Amino acid sequence: MDRRFRVMIIDDEESARKLMRASIDWDSLNMDVVGEAASGIEAINVIDDLKPDIAFVDISMPFMNGIEFTQTATDRYPNLIIIIMTAIDQFEYARKCVSLPVFEYMLKPMVRSEITQVLMRVRDRLLIEKDFWEESRQESEIDIPGESSTIEAIKKYVEENFKDSKLNLAYVAQQFGFSSSYLSRKFKQDTGVNFVEYLTDLRMKKAIKLACSNVKMFVTASEVGIPDPNYFGRCFKKYTGMSYSDYVSENQNV
């Protein structure tokens, strides 16, 4: 069976994301669009779960733009293929400012045939390279003595740094000298929850405390490491079952 490649679309315009999903014959390219993000902040939070091989990244996004996301992503995911999408008035800016291993720069609005041609080149490159999201170095499946205490140290580190909007599984794995895949497996094994759930739980518990103190949503979002208020709002509602404003109304401290 031919290998299939995973694609992520990162663009703050929902219409642009939907158009790209619908206009490309992904199946003929052995590709699947596995997820989207409306900002660089959202992308950082979901990328470890989506595990894309390819990311289309809009250069102009709020809270973390395409350049900032690319700088972060290429450091943590060196094998991720990044295709920058940019408007004509930002094209030269993109080419001059991003001295990073970007696969291609494409002008918006993009042409279907040009996207397909770029993706065919990406596919050819991917087919001759090893799997991206495998462990970057050989690691024993047998527990190393002291690793349980290491997981406790990682939990403490996350508790102390969850306000950092760029913190995610890959970042923490780098800090402690593990590959992302190994830390993900080990963290779930030792704690019973996956890393993203643990991080989200910390952030939302803090957000609930701030909501009960009638703190404005944009302030709370920044305080818990999700400065994109739209993405924060979705996370909060999923966690509590209520919008932030409704939660504040019902749970204000007297």
- Domain annotation covers residue 62: yes
Q: Say how far apart CA 165 and CA 187 lie, in whole Å.
A: 20
Per-residue pLDDT at 251: 86
Per-residue pLDDT at 23: 94
Q: Say how far apart CA 114 and CA 111 lie, in whole Å.
A: 5
Q: In what order do the strands lie in the sheet with 54-58?
A: 31-37, 5-10, 54-58, 81-87, 104-108
Residue 85 tokens, joined: 């999408």
Residues 48 and 11 in one domain: yes
Rg (alpha carbons) of the chain, rounded to whole number? 20
- Domain annotation covers residue 238: yes
Given a contact cutoff of 8 angstroms between Cβ atoms, the answer to whether 123 and 96 are in contact is no
Q: Say how far apart CA 61 and CA 39 lie, in whole Å.
A: 6
- Domain annotation covers residue 198: yes
Mean pLDDT calculated for residue range 166-173: 95
Instruction: Answer with the one of 61, 94, 127 that is the final residue of a domain.
Output: 127
Per-residue pLDDT at 97: 64
- pTM of this prediction exceeds 0.75: yes
Q: What is the count of structural domains for the chain?
A: 2
Whether the link from the prior residue into 109 is cis, omega within 30° of 0, is yes
pLDDT in tens, 130-162: 557 544 444 444 455 566 788 999 999 999 999
- Domain annotation covers residue 186: yes
**What is the 3-class SS of 104-139, one letter each residue?**
EEEEECCCHHHHHHHHHHHHHHHHCCCCCCCCCCCC
Instruction: Answer with the one of 127, 155, 181 that is the final residue of a domain.
Output: 127
pLDDT in tens, 41-84: 999 999 999 999 999 999 989 888 888 999 999 889 989 999 99
Instruction: Answer with the one of 127, 159, 180 that is the final residue of a domain.
Output: 127
- Give the DSSP per-residue string, 146-215: THHHHHHHHHHHHHHHTT-TT--HHHHHHHHT--HHHHHHHHHHHHSS-HHHHHHHHHHHHHHHHHHTT-
Taken as a whole, the chain contains a residue count of 254
Per-residue pLDDT at 130: 58
Among 29-38, 124-133, 195-204, the least confident range: 124-133
Residue 116 tokens, joined: 């397909």
User: Who's near 40: CB < 8 A, 6+ residues apart?
Assistant: 10, 57, 61, 63, 64, 65, 66, 68, 69, 72
Residue 252 tokens, joined: 């204000």
Per-residue pLDDT at 13: 94
Domain at 119, CATH number: 3.40.50.2300
Given a contact cutoff of 8 angstroms between Cβ atoms, the answer to whether 76 and 171 are in contact is yes
Domain at 150, CATH number: 1.10.10.60
- Domain annotation covers residue 140: no
Given a contact cutoff of 8 angstroms between Cβ atoms, the answer to whether 49 and 6 are in contact is no
Q: Say how far apart CA 218 and CA 210 lie, in whole Å.
A: 11
Which domain range does residue 23 map to? Answer: 5-127
- Domain annotation covers residue 133: no
Top pLDDT among 171 and 93 is at: 171
Q: Say how far apart CA 196 and CA 202 lie, in whole Å.
A: 10
- Domain annotation covers residue 64: yes
pLDDT in tens, 225-240: 999 999 999 999 999 9
pLDDT in tens, 82-130: 999 988 777 776 766 667 788 998 988 899 999 999 999 999 999 887 5
Q: What is the mean pLDDT of the chain?
A: 89
In the beta sheet, which residues pair with residue 107? 86
